[in-house]
Amino acid sequence: MRAYDLLFEQALTRIDPERIHHAAFRTIRAAAPLTGRAVRLPSAPVRALGLTFPHPLGLAAGFDKNAVGIDGLAALGFGHVEIGTVTGEAQPGNPQPRLFRLKADRAIVNRMGFNNHGSEVVAKRLAAWRAGGGTTLLGVNIGKSKVVPEDEAARDYEKSAGLLAPYADYLVVNVSSPNTPGLRNLQAVEKLEPILAAVRRRADQVRPDHRVPLLVKIAPDLSNDDVLAVADLALASGLDGIIATNTTISREGLASPSAEVEAIGAGGLSGQPLTQRSEDVVRLLRDRVGADLTLVGVGGITSVDDARRRLAAGADLLQGYTAFVYEGPLWPRRIVTGLASGPASAVVTGHATDA
């Protein structure tokens, strides 16, 4: 058993998950000068979204909601960091407790509710970070403020895009979290299209000299037909990519006792139970959109084999979060090193395929 596994099982699981998250994140930020010097990972660059990523693996949105530890996270070995979800208005999120472990499934249930400092505060923080020399490839994930009615969602996303696009290497429209009432309704093509158009227009206004790539993040719970409809919209509207997938509201096939699952209640499930569905969604999307659209595979990627299969299914880039929690701070380095030593180690400029 690895030292981190022992620490996790004997100590960390006895403490509230949200408290542990904040404590671990403080440690990551404090250790950034040391860990950054230590990272020399063997990897092949990936060309996607008009950018050159040092390797495929990045950190998914949700870990650093407020852009307070970008460099520390990159120092652990992530090739890109996606912050957020950031909303137009600051909000505290849902009542605690709101983060739970399902250890038997290597999974997490969260109903955080987009707790964040809001787009104005995060924009100022990102401006200072860029002015201080921040160069980590940065995705900014934006969502709808809870207080904003569904029919005014486009305006809310547009506000965040205007404030945050100047500092982002790419933008993500998140319409797939289950923890903001009505948000997933916005995945319907007729509601999603005006949001994407508003974000695209505003990003172009604030960055007239540079087109910021725009992606949408979708849920694994969409039907296959709805996944294909989003793919068609992405092509028709000139989106740059799709992130597949967010958390699931399904509780099917879990190893955890049903009483434990029921006691936790509502929220989005992430981790190993998503592995197959997320892989299937990536494959479905790639078959539909062809080679040019960037696909980011996220959901249930724990091992090097998981990562290779997701690339083979058609993902250009990968992201993780839950495995990072269960596997520890050396996890990104293990995945990147493993990918570099296997059949996916060639430089890629489109989507990965079986070698």
% the chain with pLDDT above 90? 86
C-beta of residue 171 within 8 angstroms of C-beta of residue 164: yes
Rounded mean pLDDT, 63-77? 97
Instruction: Please identify every residue annotated as catalytic.
Output: 177
Q: Is the pLDDT of residue 23 over 50?
A: yes
Binding site residues for FMN, as ranges?
61-65, 85, 141, 174, 217, 245, 271, 300, 321-322
At 345, the pLDDT band (50, 70, 90 cuts) reads very low
pLDDT tens for each residue of 132-153:
999 999 999 999 999 999 999 9
- The 8 Å CB, 24+ separation contacts for 118-121 are 118/86, 118/87, 118/88, 118/89, 118/90, 118/91, 119/86, 119/87, 119/88, 119/89, 119/159, 119/160, 119/163, 119/164, 120/90, 120/163, 121/66, 121/90
pLDDT tens for each residue of 261-310:
999 999 999 999 999 999 999 999 999 999 999 999 999 999 999 999 99
Whether the pTM exceeds 0.85: the reply is yes
Residue 43's pLDDT is 75
Binding site residues, as ranges?
61-65, 85, 110-114, 141, 174, 179, 217, 245-247, 271, 300, 321-322
Residues ≥6 apart with Cβ < 8 Å to 105: 254, 255, 256, 271, 272, 273
In terms of residues, how long is the chain? 355
Strand runs labelled E in the chain = 46-48, 51-53, 57-59, 80-87, 99-102, 107-110, 137-143, 170-174, 214-218, 241-244, 268-271, 294-298, 317-320
Residue 306's pLDDT is 98
% the chain with pLDDT above 70? 92
**Domain 3-341: CATH architecture, name and number where available:** Alpha-Beta Barrel (3.20)
Each domain of the chain, given as residue ranges in start order, spans 3-341
Residue 348's pLDDT is 46
pLDDT tens for each residue of 219-229:
999 999 999 99
Binding site residues for substrate, as ranges?
65, 110-114, 174, 179, 246-247
C-beta of residue 60 within 8 angstroms of C-beta of residue 332: no
β-pair partners for 217:
174, 243
